[in-house]
Structure 1
Amino acid sequence: MQVLKRRLRNARRLNVALAVAAVFLLVVAIAGSGSGKTGAARSATNGTAGTPSGGTDAADPIALRDPKDPLAVGDVDAPVVLVEFADLRCPYCALFAQQTLPALLKDYVDTGKVRYEFRDVAFFGDQSVDAAVALRAAAEQGRFMQYLAAVYGAAPENKHPDLSRKKLIAFAQSAGVPDMAAFESDLDRKDLRDAANAATSDAHQLGITSVPFFVAGDQALSGAQPLAAFRQLLDSQLAKAGPR
């Protein structure tokens, strides 16, 4: 754990610069052509059509607000949307999921203040793509958060986990996926794999090169920052959004 914490401290110095650069790229990409929004919507809906209810607002440029998005939780009309770009093989993503996300869900998502949208990216090889497909398959059966928790809860402290097909199936069982036969079949679905690859491409087009990466409104945060940093981010965006 000490090794991971030391790496995290070193990474945070670079993450500040990365966050500033990525926000600039996000604004340019969206203002210039709107292609980032279209690509993100395509990847996060498993290739199916979906209409965001408010994500085209300039103050909320990355959020989809798609009520059919299986990789999201919370009120679709919440004042603020927290978007996370993450790889299921990323140790820092696991750290965030274990130490910070539960408090954010309890204090912001469950209270209707914030919607949480997850964007799967595959930055660490073929197993990252396989894991993204598995997450989407579990999400289609209503077990998105449970599957996410199962994978990240078993993550090693300072390295990328081995996510073999056997392990992905075991995570589905522990996450309570109801139709395991369908889940195993879905691991070979081309549309889910295409959607996972498209999500990674979308992230690259937005200038995101490291995970976890977060966007809320017009601000970004890079890395598994302390809980206080996320509270500051969300509270500032809630203040901007005003009463609803």
Structure 2
Amino acid sequence: MPQSNNKKNIAIVAGVAVAAALLGVASYTATKPADSSPGGTVKEAAAGAAPSAEAQAGVYPELEKLARRDAKDPLAQGRADAPVVMVEYADFKCGFCGKFARDTEPGLVKKYVDEGVLRIEWRNFPIFGADSERAARGAWAAGRQGRFWQFNEAAYAEGAKEKGFGEDRLRELAEEAGVKDIGRFVRDAGSEAAKAAVKKDQEEAYGLGATSTPSFLVNGRPISGAQPDDVFDQAIEAAAKAADSRGNQGKGSGKGGSE
């Protein structure tokens, strides 16, 4: 059994290594969203790498596998079996992340998450120092009490990041988010488990070549920066269509199934 697990881990690492090779020279530049398009820079990075038809369309199966689809994940929203998963790598000190959270994400939730089409999986990707790290651990701790998305909204409110994310401020945000046990929140935020969870997400993002926030993967299609709403709409709808096509092909290619 351990040998089987080792082989599985090696396969996952190999897949991510391929993705990192493809994405390593791509710039996830949040400060220039207008310069990016879903998968555009990745295609340039993959030039000469004999990419598949999916890769040529800006979609990478290696990246799609990073969706965890854990039904009990408190840092995710939407059905675990939704046809489209958007992985979001973000930092609470990031102004463009806040813009996305306030201006774009609510519409995506209403249009796609509530309809069962989209699942959003958050990854803490603190890159702006100690304040970012504290906020990330605080968000994780709020999630332990089922209030991650409420904490997310409070931390990304207009003017919130300018107040910093010191210990007292994190408690204020937790209270605003409706976290019931503040004592537990404080303990959880300072725990080794919180540090490990944040580090895991952070290393995943760095391993993909991400260098700034926000960065997104929509069923394996990279999107960089706080792009206009229609960029996300197009990526999600294309991913949903592709997922539906794959599903129909699977149904039609079964062998020996019972009637």
TM-score (norm. length: structure 1) = 0.76
Q: What is the 5 A alignment of 1:60-139?
A: 60-139=64-143
Q: Give the counterpart letter for 1:12 in structure 2.
A: P
Q: Give the counterpart letter for 1:105 in structure 2.
A: V
Q: How many residues align?
A: 205
By how many angstroms is 1:154 displaced? 3.9
Unmatched tracts of structure 2, length 5 or more: 1-28, 50-60, 248-259
By how many angstroms is 1:12 displaced? 2.1
Q: Are the structure 2 counterparts of residues 198 and 231 from structure 1 closer, same or farther at C-alpha, using a change threshold of 3 Å?
A: same
Identity of aligned residues (%): 35
What's the counterpart of residue 33 of structure 2?
Answer: 12
What's the counterpart of residue 211 of structure 1?
Answer: 213
What's the counterpart of residue 163 of structure 1?
Answer: 165
Q: Are the structure 2 counterparts of residues 167 and 66 from structure 1 closer, same or farther at C-alpha, using a change threshold of 3 Å?
A: same
In 1, the alpha carbon distance for the partners of 2:220 and 2:208 equals: 14
Cα-Cα RMSD:
2.6
Q: Are the structure 2 counterparts of residues 99 and 74 from structure 1 closer, same or farther at C-alpha, using a change threshold of 3 Å?
A: same
Q: Give the counterpart letter for 1:190 in structure 2.
A: E
Larger gyration radius, structure 1 or structure 2 = 2
What's the counterpart of residue 175 of structure 1?
Answer: 177
Q: Give the counterpart letter for 1:222 in structure 2.
A: S
By how many angstroms is 1:16 displaced? 4.6
CA contact (8 A) 2:64 2:218 kept: yes
CA contact (8 A) 1:122 1:197 kept: no
Q: Give the counterpart letter for 2:214 in structure 1.
A: P
By how many angstroms is 1:15 displaced? 4.0
In 1, the alpha carbon distance for the partners of 2:43 and 2:175 equals: 37
Q: Are the structure 2 counterparts of residues 130 and 10 from structure 1 closer, same or farther at C-alpha, using a change threshold of 3 Å?
A: closer
By how many angstroms is 1:185 displaced? 1.7
Unmatched tracts of structure 1, length 5 or more: 1-7, 29-56
